[in-house]
């Protein structure tokens, strides 16, 4: 069933037979996406093109890491910052 305008109301209607929901007055219509996003870990051969920042690796304590941003959540939330150690290539997320 999909939302359909019926006069001044929006009701749920079958897309094949056009039958409307009998409980139209109590139906709550909301939108929610169940789309899964693929997060790509950067190829080490491309790291020379990534910016380098001062950040401490949680695995080896090296002080430099490559980083990139990915919009993993809703558009109104901040992007997730991925970090990759310059020395040991350990990858982690920075949610700040």
Residues with a known catalytic role: 76-77
**Residue 51 contacts residue 77 (beta carbons within 8 Å):** no
Question: Tokens standing for 4?
Answer: 């359909």
- Give the number of other Cβ atoms within 10 Å of residue 21's Cβ: 16
Helix (H, G, I), strand (E, B) or coil at 38: coil
DSSP state for residue 37 in the 8-state scheme: P
């Amino acid at each position: 069933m999909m939302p359909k305008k019926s006069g001044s109301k929006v009701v749920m209607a079958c897309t094949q037979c056009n039958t409307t929901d009998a409980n139209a007055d109590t139906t709550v219509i909301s939108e929610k996406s169940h789309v899964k996003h693929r997060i790509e870990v950067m190829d080490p051969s491309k790291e020379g093109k990534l910016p380098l920042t001062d950040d401490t690796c949680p695995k080896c304590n090296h002080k430099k890491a490559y980083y990139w941003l990915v919009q993993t959540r809703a558009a109104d939330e901040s992007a997730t910052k991925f970090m990759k150690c310059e020395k040991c290539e350990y990858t982690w997320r920075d949610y700040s």
